[in-house]
Structure 1
Amino acid sequence: MSTRSSDPARRTDDQRQHWDGVAAGWKQWWPTIEQGAQAVSARMLELAAVAPGQRVLDIATGIGEPALLAAARVGPRGRVLATDCSPRMLAIARERAAGLGLANVDFLEMDARELEFPDDSFDAALCRWGISYLPDPPTTAAAIRRLLVPGGSFATSVWQAGPRGRPMVGLAMAAAIETFDLPPPSEPAVPASGSAEAALAQQLVLAGFTDVRVEEVALTLEFRSADDCTQYLMDVSPQFSALLLGRTSTELAEYRQRLGDRLRQYTTADGSVRVPNVAVCAAGRA
Protein backbone atom coordinates (compact mmCIF):
# COMPACT_ATOMS: atom_id res chain seq x y z
CA MET A 1 0.00 0.00 0.00
CA SER A 2 1.54 3.29 -1.07
CA THR A 3 -0.98 5.78 0.26
CA ARG A 4 0.47 8.23 2.80
CA SER A 5 -2.21 10.92 3.01
CA SER A 6 -2.12 13.12 6.12
CA ASP A 7 -5.95 13.20 6.17
CA PRO A 8 -7.17 10.11 8.09
CA ALA A 9 -10.55 10.01 6.30
CA ARG A 10 -8.90 10.34 2.91
CA ARG A 11 -6.37 7.67 3.83
CA THR A 12 -9.12 5.27 4.86
CA ASP A 13 -10.99 5.88 1.61
CA ASP A 14 -7.81 5.25 -0.38
CA GLN A 15 -7.13 2.03 1.53
CA ARG A 16 -10.68 0.86 0.95
CA GLN A 17 -10.55 1.57 -2.78
CA HIS A 18 -7.15 -0.08 -3.20
CA TRP A 19 -8.12 -3.29 -1.42
CA ASP A 20 -11.61 -3.40 -2.96
CA GLY A 21 -9.86 -3.22 -6.32
CA VAL A 22 -7.85 -6.39 -5.72
CA ALA A 23 -10.43 -8.39 -3.74
CA ALA A 24 -11.28 -10.61 -6.71
CA GLY A 25 -7.59 -11.34 -7.19
CA TRP A 26 -7.24 -12.39 -3.56
CA LYS A 27 -10.17 -14.75 -3.96
CA GLN A 28 -8.60 -16.28 -7.07
CA TRP A 29 -5.12 -16.67 -5.58
CA TRP A 30 -6.18 -17.60 -2.04
CA PRO A 31 -5.10 -21.28 -2.28
CA THR A 32 -1.62 -20.16 -3.36
CA ILE A 33 -1.38 -17.50 -0.65
CA GLU A 34 -2.73 -19.63 2.16
CA GLN A 35 -0.67 -22.69 1.32
CA GLY A 36 2.32 -20.71 2.53
CA ALA A 37 0.67 -18.27 4.93
CA GLN A 38 -1.04 -20.92 7.06
CA ALA A 39 2.27 -21.38 8.86
CA VAL A 40 2.15 -17.74 9.96
CA SER A 41 -1.52 -17.91 11.01
CA ALA A 42 -1.00 -21.11 12.99
CA ARG A 43 1.98 -19.67 14.83
CA MET A 44 0.07 -16.47 15.63
CA LEU A 45 -2.75 -18.49 17.21
CA GLU A 46 -0.19 -20.38 19.30
CA LEU A 47 1.53 -17.17 20.43
CA ALA A 48 -1.83 -15.65 21.36
CA ALA A 49 -2.84 -18.85 23.18
CA VAL A 50 -6.17 -18.97 21.34
CA ALA A 51 -8.26 -21.68 22.99
CA PRO A 52 -11.79 -23.17 22.88
CA GLY A 53 -14.52 -20.89 24.20
CA GLN A 54 -12.57 -17.63 23.78
CA ARG A 55 -13.63 -14.33 22.22
CA VAL A 56 -11.16 -13.35 19.50
CA LEU A 57 -10.73 -10.17 17.45
CA ASP A 58 -9.06 -10.39 14.02
CA ILE A 59 -8.05 -6.96 12.65
CA ALA A 60 -7.52 -6.32 8.91
CA THR A 61 -8.76 -9.82 8.17
CA GLY A 62 -8.91 -9.37 4.38
CA ILE A 63 -10.88 -12.31 3.04
CA GLY A 64 -10.90 -14.07 6.36
CA GLU A 65 -7.56 -15.08 7.80
CA PRO A 66 -6.58 -15.84 10.43
CA ALA A 67 -10.20 -15.32 11.55
CA LEU A 68 -11.46 -18.60 10.08
CA LEU A 69 -8.59 -20.58 11.56
CA ALA A 70 -9.34 -18.96 14.92
CA ALA A 71 -13.05 -19.76 14.59
CA ALA A 72 -12.24 -23.42 14.12
CA ARG A 73 -9.95 -23.26 17.16
CA VAL A 74 -12.38 -21.56 19.60
CA GLY A 75 -15.22 -23.90 18.61
CA PRO A 76 -18.98 -23.41 19.02
CA ARG A 77 -18.63 -22.00 22.56
CA GLY A 78 -16.28 -19.28 21.33
CA ARG A 79 -16.73 -16.31 19.00
CA VAL A 80 -14.55 -14.48 16.48
CA LEU A 81 -15.11 -10.93 15.23
CA ALA A 82 -13.17 -10.05 12.08
CA THR A 83 -12.81 -6.44 10.87
CA ASP A 84 -11.52 -4.87 7.67
CA CYS A 85 -11.91 -1.58 5.81
CA SER A 86 -12.75 -3.30 2.49
CA PRO A 87 -16.38 -4.38 2.03
CA ARG A 88 -15.47 -6.48 -1.00
CA MET A 89 -12.85 -8.38 0.94
CA LEU A 90 -15.35 -8.96 3.75
CA ALA A 91 -18.00 -10.23 1.32
CA ILE A 92 -15.58 -12.93 0.18
CA ALA A 93 -14.69 -13.71 3.80
CA ARG A 94 -18.38 -14.27 4.58
CA GLU A 95 -18.68 -16.61 1.59
CA ARG A 96 -15.68 -18.59 2.78
CA ALA A 97 -17.03 -18.85 6.32
CA ALA A 98 -20.39 -20.08 5.03
CA GLY A 99 -18.67 -22.61 2.79
CA LEU A 100 -16.75 -23.97 5.77
CA GLY A 101 -19.89 -24.11 7.90
CA LEU A 102 -18.47 -21.71 10.50
CA ALA A 103 -21.33 -19.98 12.31
CA ASN A 104 -19.23 -18.54 15.16
CA VAL A 105 -17.50 -15.76 13.20
CA ASP A 106 -18.86 -12.29 12.38
CA PHE A 107 -17.46 -9.74 9.94
CA LEU A 108 -17.58 -5.99 10.42
CA GLU A 109 -16.42 -3.16 8.13
CA MET A 110 -14.17 -1.04 10.32
CA ASP A 111 -10.90 0.84 9.99
CA ALA A 112 -8.15 -0.59 12.18
CA ARG A 113 -7.61 2.81 13.79
CA GLU A 114 -11.23 3.01 14.95
CA LEU A 115 -11.74 -0.06 17.10
CA GLU A 116 -14.80 1.09 19.02
CA PHE A 117 -15.48 -1.74 21.45
CA PRO A 118 -15.83 -1.77 25.25
CA ASP A 119 -12.78 -2.49 27.38
CA ASP A 120 -12.09 -6.17 28.12
CA SER A 121 -14.15 -7.33 25.12
CA PHE A 122 -11.78 -10.04 23.90
CA ASP A 123 -9.52 -12.78 25.22
CA ALA A 124 -7.15 -12.52 22.25
CA ALA A 125 -6.53 -10.30 19.23
CA LEU A 126 -4.81 -11.03 15.92
CA CYS A 127 -3.54 -8.94 13.00
CA ARG A 128 -1.70 -10.70 10.19
CA TRP A 129 0.38 -8.20 8.20
CA GLY A 130 -2.21 -5.42 8.50
CA ILE A 131 -0.27 -3.49 11.13
CA SER A 132 2.32 -2.61 8.46
CA TYR A 133 -0.17 -0.33 6.72
CA LEU A 134 -1.02 1.76 9.78
CA PRO A 135 0.44 5.28 10.17
CA ASP A 136 0.89 4.89 13.93
CA PRO A 137 1.15 1.20 14.91
CA PRO A 138 1.93 1.79 18.64
CA THR A 139 -1.26 3.88 19.06
CA THR A 140 -3.36 1.19 17.40
CA ALA A 141 -1.63 -1.51 19.45
CA ALA A 142 -2.42 0.44 22.63
CA ALA A 143 -6.09 0.58 21.59
CA ILE A 144 -6.02 -3.18 21.03
CA ARG A 145 -4.53 -3.74 24.48
CA ARG A 146 -7.45 -1.83 26.02
CA LEU A 147 -9.90 -4.25 24.37
CA LEU A 148 -8.27 -7.31 25.90
CA VAL A 149 -9.10 -8.86 29.24
CA PRO A 150 -6.26 -8.72 31.79
CA GLY A 151 -3.75 -11.32 30.71
CA GLY A 152 -5.18 -11.50 27.19
CA SER A 153 -2.76 -11.75 24.27
CA PHE A 154 -2.22 -9.91 20.99
CA ALA A 155 -0.32 -11.57 18.13
CA THR A 156 0.66 -9.85 14.92
CA SER A 157 3.05 -10.27 12.01
CA VAL A 158 5.01 -8.25 9.47
CA TRP A 159 7.33 -9.16 6.65
CA GLN A 160 11.01 -9.40 7.49
CA ALA A 161 12.93 -6.32 6.34
CA GLY A 162 14.99 -6.43 3.14
CA PRO A 163 15.09 -9.10 0.44
CA ARG A 164 14.67 -11.99 2.89
CA GLY A 165 11.13 -10.92 3.65
CA ARG A 166 9.51 -10.87 0.22
CA PRO A 167 12.19 -11.37 -2.42
CA MET A 168 9.66 -11.59 -5.24
CA VAL A 169 8.46 -8.04 -4.57
CA GLY A 170 11.99 -6.67 -4.77
CA LEU A 171 12.70 -8.56 -8.00
CA ALA A 172 9.39 -7.43 -9.49
CA MET A 173 10.11 -3.79 -8.70
CA ALA A 174 13.63 -4.04 -10.16
CA ALA A 175 12.15 -5.48 -13.37
CA ALA A 176 9.59 -2.66 -13.50
CA ILE A 177 12.25 0.03 -13.03
CA GLU A 178 14.26 -1.43 -15.90
CA THR A 179 11.33 -2.12 -18.22
CA PHE A 180 9.42 1.13 -17.77
CA ASP A 181 12.41 3.40 -17.17
CA LEU A 182 11.20 4.35 -13.69
CA PRO A 183 13.31 6.35 -11.22
CA PRO A 184 15.08 4.19 -8.63
CA PRO A 185 13.83 4.21 -5.03
CA SER A 186 14.83 7.38 -3.19
CA GLU A 187 16.20 5.40 -0.23
CA PRO A 188 18.02 2.33 -1.59
CA ALA A 189 19.69 1.49 1.74
CA VAL A 190 19.23 -2.14 2.79
CA PRO A 191 17.53 -2.50 6.21
CA ALA A 192 19.76 -3.96 8.90
CA SER A 193 19.30 -7.61 9.80
CA GLY A 194 16.83 -7.95 12.64
CA SER A 195 15.35 -4.48 12.13
CA ALA A 196 11.82 -5.82 11.65
CA GLU A 197 12.00 -7.78 14.90
CA ALA A 198 13.33 -4.80 16.83
CA ALA A 199 10.74 -2.39 15.43
CA LEU A 200 7.83 -4.75 16.09
CA ALA A 201 8.95 -5.49 19.63
CA GLN A 202 9.34 -1.78 20.32
CA GLN A 203 5.83 -1.07 19.05
CA LEU A 204 4.29 -3.61 21.41
CA VAL A 205 6.34 -2.42 24.38
CA LEU A 206 5.39 1.20 23.70
CA ALA A 207 1.74 0.09 23.57
CA GLY A 208 2.05 -1.29 27.09
CA PHE A 209 2.24 -5.02 26.34
CA THR A 210 4.35 -7.26 28.57
CA ASP A 211 6.02 -10.62 27.98
CA VAL A 212 6.74 -9.57 24.39
CA ARG A 213 8.05 -12.36 22.18
CA VAL A 214 9.30 -12.02 18.61
CA GLU A 215 10.35 -14.73 16.16
CA GLU A 216 10.78 -15.48 12.47
CA VAL A 217 8.49 -17.82 10.53
CA ALA A 218 9.54 -19.13 7.12
CA LEU A 219 6.99 -19.67 4.37
CA THR A 220 7.14 -20.54 0.69
CA LEU A 221 4.94 -19.31 -2.14
CA GLU A 222 4.66 -21.75 -5.03
CA PHE A 223 3.60 -20.93 -8.61
CA ARG A 224 3.22 -23.04 -11.71
CA SER A 225 5.40 -20.65 -13.73
CA ALA A 226 7.13 -17.28 -13.75
CA ASP A 227 4.18 -15.90 -15.71
CA ASP A 228 1.91 -16.94 -12.84
CA CYS A 229 4.12 -14.93 -10.48
CA THR A 230 3.58 -11.83 -12.60
CA GLN A 231 -0.16 -12.37 -12.80
CA TYR A 232 -0.31 -12.94 -9.05
CA LEU A 233 1.34 -9.57 -8.37
CA MET A 234 -1.00 -7.81 -10.80
CA ASP A 235 -4.05 -9.43 -9.19
CA VAL A 236 -3.35 -9.12 -5.44
CA SER A 237 -1.04 -6.12 -5.00
CA PRO A 238 -2.57 -2.62 -5.21
CA GLN A 239 0.93 -1.29 -5.89
CA PHE A 240 1.69 -3.55 -8.86
CA SER A 241 -1.87 -3.46 -10.13
CA ALA A 242 -1.58 0.32 -10.48
CA LEU A 243 1.95 0.10 -11.87
CA LEU A 244 1.07 -2.35 -14.64
CA LEU A 245 -2.40 -1.05 -15.47
CA GLY A 246 -2.59 0.44 -18.96
CA ARG A 247 0.74 -0.93 -20.18
CA THR A 248 0.83 -2.16 -23.75
CA SER A 249 0.99 -5.86 -24.55
CA THR A 250 4.56 -5.36 -25.74
CA GLU A 251 5.56 -3.68 -22.48
CA LEU A 252 3.92 -6.39 -20.41
CA ALA A 253 5.62 -9.13 -22.44
CA GLU A 254 8.99 -7.45 -21.89
CA TYR A 255 8.24 -7.09 -18.19
CA ARG A 256 7.28 -10.74 -17.85
CA GLN A 257 10.52 -11.73 -19.57
CA ARG A 258 12.66 -9.57 -17.29
CA LEU A 259 10.92 -10.80 -14.16
CA GLY A 260 11.17 -14.40 -15.37
CA ASP A 261 14.92 -13.97 -15.77
CA ARG A 262 15.18 -12.70 -12.19
CA LEU A 263 13.04 -15.55 -10.87
CA ARG A 264 15.19 -18.21 -12.52
CA GLN A 265 17.06 -18.72 -9.25
CA TYR A 266 13.78 -20.02 -7.75
CA THR A 267 12.64 -22.03 -10.79
CA THR A 268 12.59 -25.82 -10.56
CA ALA A 269 13.23 -28.37 -13.29
CA ASP A 270 9.53 -28.58 -14.20
CA GLY A 271 9.23 -24.79 -14.62
CA SER A 272 7.42 -24.13 -11.36
CA VAL A 273 8.63 -21.36 -9.06
CA ARG A 274 9.15 -21.73 -5.30
CA VAL A 275 9.94 -18.45 -3.57
CA PRO A 276 11.02 -18.54 0.10
CA ASN A 277 9.76 -15.71 2.30
CA VAL A 278 10.27 -14.76 5.94
CA ALA A 279 7.66 -13.24 8.22
CA VAL A 280 8.17 -11.90 11.73
CA CYS A 281 5.57 -12.82 14.35
CA ALA A 282 5.26 -11.03 17.66
CA ALA A 283 3.00 -11.37 20.67
CA GLY A 284 2.47 -9.58 23.95
CA ARG A 285 0.25 -9.88 27.01
CA ALA A 286 -2.16 -7.20 28.21
Structure 2
Amino acid sequence: MNPPSSAPTPDEEGPGPQWDRVAAGWKTWWPTIERAAQCVSERMLDLADVATGQRVLDIATGIGEPALLAARRVGPAGGVVATDVSSRMLEIARERAALAGMSNVDFGLADAAQMDFPEGGFDAVLCRWGVTYLPDPPNALAAIRRTLVPGGAFATAVWAEADSRPLADLAQAVARDMFDLPAPQAQAPSRAGSVEDALAKAMIHAGFADVRTERLGLTLEWACADACTQYVLDVSPDLVALFLDRSSAQRAEYRHRLADRLGPYLAADGRVRIPNLTVCAAGRR
Protein backbone atom coordinates (compact mmCIF):
# COMPACT_ATOMS: atom_id res chain seq x y z
CA MET A 1 0.00 0.00 0.00
CA ASN A 2 1.35 3.41 -0.91
CA PRO A 3 1.31 6.19 1.72
CA PRO A 4 -0.25 9.55 0.87
CA SER A 5 2.02 11.99 -0.89
CA SER A 6 2.49 14.11 2.23
CA ALA A 7 3.67 11.18 4.34
CA PRO A 8 7.33 10.10 4.33
CA THR A 9 7.98 7.19 2.00
CA PRO A 10 9.70 4.07 3.35
CA ASP A 11 12.88 4.98 1.49
CA GLU A 12 12.89 8.47 3.01
CA GLU A 13 12.10 7.42 6.53
CA GLY A 14 13.46 3.90 6.96
CA PRO A 15 11.79 0.97 8.69
CA GLY A 16 12.72 1.88 12.29
CA PRO A 17 10.49 4.95 12.68
CA GLN A 18 7.69 3.24 10.76
CA TRP A 19 7.58 0.37 13.23
CA ASP A 20 8.11 2.71 16.18
CA ARG A 21 4.78 4.34 15.33
CA VAL A 22 2.87 1.07 15.64
CA ALA A 23 4.72 -0.33 18.66
CA ALA A 24 1.94 0.69 21.06
CA GLY A 25 -0.58 -1.05 18.84
CA TRP A 26 1.45 -4.23 18.83
CA LYS A 27 1.66 -4.09 22.62
CA THR A 28 -2.13 -3.79 22.79
CA TRP A 29 -2.79 -6.62 20.37
CA TRP A 30 0.06 -9.03 21.09
CA PRO A 31 -2.22 -11.54 22.91
CA THR A 32 -4.41 -11.70 19.80
CA ILE A 33 -1.41 -12.04 17.53
CA GLU A 34 0.39 -14.66 19.60
CA ARG A 35 -2.69 -16.81 20.15
CA ALA A 36 -2.60 -17.35 16.41
CA ALA A 37 1.14 -17.18 15.79
CA GLN A 38 2.52 -19.25 18.65
CA CYS A 39 2.09 -22.43 16.61
CA VAL A 40 4.41 -20.89 13.99
CA SER A 41 7.04 -19.97 16.59
CA GLU A 42 6.90 -23.42 18.15
CA ARG A 43 7.29 -25.09 14.80
CA MET A 44 10.26 -22.87 13.94
CA LEU A 45 11.97 -23.82 17.20
CA ASP A 46 11.34 -27.49 16.46
CA LEU A 47 12.71 -27.17 12.93
CA ALA A 48 15.84 -25.46 14.30
CA ASP A 49 16.21 -28.09 17.04
CA VAL A 50 16.42 -25.40 19.72
CA ALA A 51 17.35 -27.13 22.97
CA THR A 52 18.48 -26.52 26.52
CA GLY A 53 21.79 -24.68 26.85
CA GLN A 54 21.95 -23.35 23.30
CA ARG A 55 22.68 -19.82 22.14
CA VAL A 56 19.99 -18.48 19.80
CA LEU A 57 19.67 -15.36 17.64
CA ASP A 58 16.20 -14.00 16.82
CA ILE A 59 16.19 -11.48 13.95
CA ALA A 60 13.36 -8.94 13.55
CA THR A 61 11.97 -9.94 16.93
CA GLY A 62 9.46 -7.08 17.16
CA ILE A 63 8.02 -7.15 20.66
CA GLY A 64 9.91 -10.33 21.49
CA GLU A 65 8.73 -13.29 19.48
CA PRO A 66 9.84 -15.96 19.03
CA ALA A 67 12.73 -14.81 21.26
CA LEU A 68 10.85 -15.27 24.54
CA LEU A 69 9.65 -18.71 23.54
CA ALA A 70 13.22 -19.65 22.64
CA ALA A 71 14.49 -18.27 25.96
CA ARG A 72 12.13 -20.58 27.81
CA ARG A 73 13.34 -23.54 25.80
CA VAL A 74 17.10 -22.94 26.16
CA GLY A 75 16.72 -22.27 29.88
CA PRO A 76 19.16 -20.55 32.26
CA ALA A 77 22.09 -22.48 30.80
CA GLY A 78 21.43 -20.99 27.38
CA GLY A 79 20.84 -17.52 26.02
CA VAL A 80 18.99 -15.59 23.35
CA VAL A 81 20.00 -12.44 21.50
CA ALA A 82 17.05 -10.67 19.88
CA THR A 83 17.35 -7.77 17.43
CA ASP A 84 15.03 -5.35 15.68
CA VAL A 85 15.17 -2.00 13.86
CA SER A 86 12.52 -0.45 16.14
CA SER A 87 13.68 0.87 19.51
CA ARG A 88 10.10 1.15 20.77
CA MET A 89 9.32 -2.43 19.82
CA LEU A 90 12.41 -3.50 21.74
CA GLU A 91 11.33 -1.50 24.80
CA ILE A 92 8.13 -3.52 24.89
CA ALA A 93 10.05 -6.76 24.37
CA ARG A 94 12.27 -5.92 27.35
CA GLU A 95 9.19 -5.18 29.46
CA ARG A 96 7.66 -8.51 28.55
CA ALA A 97 10.87 -10.36 29.39
CA ALA A 98 11.13 -8.58 32.74
CA LEU A 99 7.52 -9.37 33.62
CA ALA A 100 8.18 -13.01 32.79
CA GLY A 101 11.30 -13.01 34.98
CA MET A 102 13.59 -13.90 32.08
CA SER A 103 17.25 -12.94 32.42
CA ASN A 104 18.64 -15.09 29.61
CA VAL A 105 17.55 -12.89 26.69
CA ASP A 106 19.27 -9.70 25.50
CA PHE A 107 17.60 -7.24 23.14
CA GLY A 108 19.55 -4.98 20.80
CA LEU A 109 18.83 -2.42 18.10
CA ALA A 110 20.19 -3.78 14.82
CA ASP A 111 19.33 -3.78 11.14
CA ALA A 112 18.95 -7.32 9.88
CA ALA A 113 20.34 -6.17 6.55
CA GLN A 114 23.62 -5.18 8.21
CA MET A 115 24.30 -7.83 10.83
CA ASP A 116 27.62 -7.69 12.63
CA PHE A 117 27.79 -10.86 14.70
CA PRO A 118 30.86 -13.07 15.00
CA GLU A 119 31.05 -16.09 12.76
CA GLY A 120 29.82 -19.27 14.41
CA GLY A 121 28.35 -17.49 17.41
CA PHE A 122 24.94 -19.19 17.53
CA ASP A 123 23.55 -22.71 17.59
CA ALA A 124 20.32 -21.55 15.96
CA VAL A 125 18.95 -18.46 14.21
CA LEU A 126 15.26 -17.58 13.91
CA CYS A 127 13.45 -14.99 11.80
CA ARG A 128 9.65 -14.98 11.81
CA TRP A 129 8.16 -13.03 8.88
CA GLY A 130 11.19 -10.79 8.51
CA VAL A 131 13.29 -12.18 5.66
CA THR A 132 11.05 -10.99 2.83
CA TYR A 133 11.16 -7.40 4.12
CA LEU A 134 14.93 -7.17 3.81
CA PRO A 135 16.30 -5.12 0.89
CA ASP A 136 18.76 -7.86 -0.07
CA PRO A 137 17.51 -11.28 1.12
CA PRO A 138 20.25 -13.33 -0.63
CA ASN A 139 23.07 -11.49 1.15
CA ALA A 140 21.10 -11.52 4.41
CA LEU A 141 20.70 -15.29 4.20
CA ALA A 142 24.42 -15.71 3.58
CA ALA A 143 25.19 -13.48 6.58
CA ILE A 144 22.78 -15.48 8.74
CA ARG A 145 24.50 -18.71 7.75
CA ARG A 146 27.88 -17.31 8.81
CA THR A 147 26.62 -16.64 12.33
CA LEU A 148 25.82 -20.33 12.85
CA VAL A 149 28.11 -22.97 14.31
CA PRO A 150 28.84 -25.85 11.92
CA GLY A 151 25.68 -27.90 11.82
CA GLY A 152 23.66 -25.09 13.38
CA ALA A 153 20.16 -24.45 12.03
CA PHE A 154 18.25 -21.49 10.67
CA ALA A 155 14.45 -21.48 10.73
CA THR A 156 12.20 -18.85 9.23
CA ALA A 157 8.59 -18.21 8.27
CA VAL A 158 7.32 -16.24 5.29
CA TRP A 159 3.80 -15.63 4.07
CA ALA A 160 2.53 -17.95 1.38
CA GLU A 161 0.88 -16.77 -1.83
CA ALA A 162 -0.57 -13.27 -2.11
CA ASP A 163 -4.03 -14.43 -1.03
CA SER A 164 -2.74 -16.17 2.11
CA ARG A 165 -3.42 -13.06 4.26
CA PRO A 166 -7.06 -12.10 3.53
CA LEU A 167 -7.25 -9.27 6.06
CA ALA A 168 -4.17 -7.53 4.65
CA ASP A 169 -5.66 -7.80 1.17
CA LEU A 170 -9.00 -6.35 2.32
CA ALA A 171 -7.33 -3.52 4.22
CA GLN A 172 -5.30 -2.51 1.17
CA ALA A 173 -8.28 -2.78 -1.18
CA VAL A 174 -10.47 -0.53 0.99
CA ALA A 175 -7.70 2.07 1.25
CA ARG A 176 -7.22 2.07 -2.52
CA ASP A 177 -10.95 2.51 -3.10
CA MET A 178 -11.34 5.30 -0.56
CA PHE A 179 -8.34 7.39 -1.48
CA ASP A 180 -7.91 6.49 -5.13
CA LEU A 181 -4.44 5.09 -4.48
CA PRO A 182 -2.55 3.44 -7.33
CA ALA A 183 -3.17 -0.26 -7.76
CA PRO A 184 -0.29 -2.59 -6.90
CA GLN A 185 1.96 -3.64 -9.74
CA ALA A 186 0.52 -6.55 -11.65
CA GLN A 187 2.23 -9.82 -10.87
CA ALA A 188 2.05 -13.18 -12.51
CA PRO A 189 -0.38 -15.48 -10.69
CA SER A 190 1.50 -17.53 -8.12
CA ARG A 191 1.14 -21.27 -8.21
CA ALA A 192 0.85 -23.49 -5.18
CA GLY A 193 4.32 -24.22 -3.88
CA SER A 194 6.02 -21.31 -5.63
CA VAL A 195 6.85 -19.56 -2.35
CA GLU A 196 8.36 -22.73 -0.93
CA ASP A 197 10.36 -23.29 -4.10
CA ALA A 198 11.72 -19.73 -4.17
CA LEU A 199 12.64 -19.76 -0.49
CA ALA A 200 14.31 -23.16 -0.68
CA LYS A 201 16.33 -22.11 -3.73
CA ALA A 202 17.43 -18.89 -2.00
CA MET A 203 18.56 -20.80 1.09
CA ILE A 204 20.43 -23.40 -0.95
CA HIS A 205 22.09 -20.62 -2.96
CA ALA A 206 23.20 -19.04 0.35
CA GLY A 207 24.91 -22.31 1.27
CA PHE A 208 22.37 -23.96 3.57
CA ALA A 209 22.13 -27.75 3.56
CA ASP A 210 19.22 -30.06 4.40
CA VAL A 211 16.74 -27.37 3.41
CA ARG A 212 13.08 -28.24 3.98
CA THR A 213 9.85 -26.31 3.80
CA GLU A 214 6.30 -26.87 4.95
CA ARG A 215 3.00 -25.01 5.11
CA LEU A 216 1.22 -24.09 8.30
CA GLY A 217 -2.18 -22.51 8.85
CA LEU A 218 -3.00 -20.01 11.59
CA THR A 219 -6.26 -18.24 12.40
CA LEU A 220 -6.52 -14.73 13.81
CA GLU A 221 -9.63 -14.07 15.90
CA TRP A 222 -11.31 -10.94 17.28
CA ALA A 223 -14.36 -10.47 19.49
CA CYS A 224 -16.21 -8.48 16.83
CA ALA A 225 -15.78 -6.64 13.53
CA ASP A 226 -15.09 -3.36 15.32
CA ALA A 227 -12.18 -4.94 17.18
CA CYS A 228 -10.82 -6.32 13.92
CA THR A 229 -10.89 -2.95 12.17
CA GLN A 230 -9.24 -1.27 15.15
CA TYR A 231 -6.52 -3.92 15.09
CA VAL A 232 -5.78 -3.17 11.43
CA LEU A 233 -5.45 0.55 12.12
CA ASP A 234 -3.25 -0.04 15.16
CA VAL A 235 -0.66 -2.50 13.84
CA SER A 236 -0.17 -1.64 10.17
CA PRO A 237 2.70 0.79 9.49
CA ASP A 238 1.26 1.55 6.05
CA LEU A 239 -2.18 2.46 7.39
CA VAL A 240 -0.76 4.55 10.22
CA ALA A 241 1.23 6.51 7.61
CA LEU A 242 -1.84 6.79 5.40
CA PHE A 243 -3.95 8.34 8.15
CA LEU A 244 -1.33 10.74 9.52
CA ASP A 245 -2.96 13.64 7.70
CA ARG A 246 -6.49 12.29 7.33
CA SER A 247 -9.54 13.43 9.29
CA SER A 248 -11.26 11.45 12.03
CA ALA A 249 -14.30 11.24 9.74
CA GLN A 250 -12.21 9.55 7.05
CA ARG A 251 -10.81 7.15 9.62
CA ALA A 252 -14.34 6.28 10.75
CA GLU A 253 -15.45 5.80 7.14
CA TYR A 254 -12.52 3.47 6.52
CA ARG A 255 -13.46 1.38 9.53
CA HIS A 256 -17.08 1.21 8.35
CA ARG A 257 -16.09 0.11 4.85
CA LEU A 258 -13.64 -2.50 6.11
CA ALA A 259 -16.18 -3.89 8.56
CA ASP A 260 -18.64 -4.32 5.68
CA ARG A 261 -16.06 -6.49 3.89
CA LEU A 262 -15.64 -8.85 6.86
CA GLY A 263 -18.95 -10.63 6.32
CA PRO A 264 -17.43 -13.90 5.04
CA TYR A 265 -15.39 -14.20 8.24
CA LEU A 266 -18.14 -13.44 10.78
CA ALA A 267 -19.19 -16.33 12.99
CA ALA A 268 -22.68 -16.77 14.45
CA ASP A 269 -21.47 -15.40 17.79
CA GLY A 270 -20.25 -12.19 16.13
CA ARG A 271 -16.58 -13.09 16.34
CA VAL A 272 -14.29 -12.58 13.36
CA ARG A 273 -12.07 -15.51 12.41
CA ILE A 274 -9.65 -15.10 9.51
CA PRO A 275 -7.42 -17.98 8.35
CA ASN A 276 -3.89 -17.29 7.12
CA LEU A 277 -1.24 -19.47 5.55
CA THR A 278 2.48 -19.32 6.19
CA VAL A 279 5.51 -21.22 4.96
CA CYS A 280 8.12 -22.44 7.43
CA ALA A 281 11.59 -23.32 6.23
CA ALA A 282 14.79 -24.56 7.81
CA GLY A 283 18.33 -25.37 6.79
CA ARG A 284 21.72 -26.12 8.34
CA ARG A 285 25.16 -24.67 7.98
The normalised TM-score by structure 2 is 0.93
Shift of 1:107: 0.7
In the alignment, the residues of structure 2 paired with residue 253 and residue 121 of structure 1 have an alpha-carbon distance, to the nearest angstrom, of 49
Match of 2:7 in 1: none
Shift of 1:206: 1.0
Match of 1:242 in 2: 241
In the alignment, the residues of structure 2 paired with residue 195 and residue 246 of structure 1 have an alpha-carbon distance, to the nearest angstrom, of 38
In the alignment, the residues of structure 1 paired with residue 87 and residue 255 of structure 2 have an alpha-carbon distance, to the nearest angstrom, of 32
Describe the shift of the 1:71–1:13 C-alpha distance in structure 2 as closer, same or farther (beyond 3 A). farther
Match of 1:181 in 2: 180
Match of 2:14 in 1: 14
**Count of residues in Structure 1 that have an aligned counterpart in Structure 2:** 279
Describe the shift of the 1:194–1:178 C-alpha distance in structure 2 as closer, same or farther (beyond 3 A). same
Shift of 1:189: 4.5
Does the Cα contact within 8 Å between 2:2 and 2:181 map onto a contact in 1? Answer: no
Describe the shift of the 1:20–1:249 C-alpha distance in structure 2 as closer, same or farther (beyond 3 A). closer
Please show how residues 1-286 of structure 1 align to structure 2 within 5 Å: 14-163=14-163, 165-187=164-186, 189-286=188-285
Amino acid at match of 1:18: Q
Amino acid at match of 2:247: T
In the alignment, the residues of structure 2 paired with residue 74 and residue 24 of structure 1 have an alpha-carbon distance, to the nearest angstrom, of 29
In the alignment, the residues of structure 2 paired with residue 176 and residue 255 of structure 1 have an alpha-carbon distance, to the nearest angstrom, of 7
Does the Cα contact within 8 Å between 1:212 and 1:285 map onto a contact in 2? Answer: yes
In the alignment, the residues of structure 1 paired with residue 275 and residue 100 of structure 2 have an alpha-carbon distance, to the nearest angstrom, of 29
In the alignment, the residues of structure 2 paired with residue 106 and residue 2 of structure 1 have an alpha-carbon distance, to the nearest angstrom, of 34
Deviations 1:115-141, CA, capped at 9 Å, x for gaps = 212211000000001111101112111
Describe the shift of the 1:173–1:190 C-alpha distance in structure 2 as closer, same or farther (beyond 3 A). farther
In the alignment, the residues of structure 1 paired with residue 201 and residue 13 of structure 2 have an alpha-carbon distance, to the nearest angstrom, of 29
Deviations 1:18-60, CA, capped at 9 Å, x for gaps = 0111111110110011010101100000000000000000011
The normalised TM-score by structure 1 is 0.93
Share of identical aligned residues, percent? 61
Amino acid at match of 1:53: G
Does the Cα contact within 8 Å between 1:52 and 1:75 map onto a contact in 2? Answer: yes
Does the Cα contact within 8 Å between 1:84 and 1:111 map onto a contact in 2? Answer: yes
Describe the shift of the 1:149–1:34 C-alpha distance in structure 2 as closer, same or farther (beyond 3 A). same
Superposition misfits of 4+ residues, deviation over 3 angstroms? 10-13
Deviations 1:192-229, CA, capped at 9 Å, x for gaps = 22221112111111110000010111101101122222
In the alignment, the residues of structure 1 paired with residue 237 and residue 188 of structure 2 have an alpha-carbon distance, to the nearest angstrom, of 24
Gaps of 5+ in 2: 4-9
Shift of 1:162: 1.6
In the alignment, the residues of structure 2 paired with residue 60 and residue 180 of structure 1 have an alpha-carbon distance, to the nearest angstrom, of 31
Match of 2:6 in 1: none
Describe the shift of the 1:105–1:222 C-alpha distance in structure 2 as closer, same or farther (beyond 3 A). same
SS in 1 for 2:65: coil
Greater alpha carbon shift after TM alignment, 225-234 vs 47-56: 225-234
Amino acid at match of 1:252: R
In the alignment, the residues of structure 2 paired with residue 12 and residue 41 of structure 1 have an alpha-carbon distance, to the nearest angstrom, of 32
Does the Cα contact within 8 Å between 2:61 and 2:128 map onto a contact in 1? Answer: yes
SS in 1 for 2:50: coil
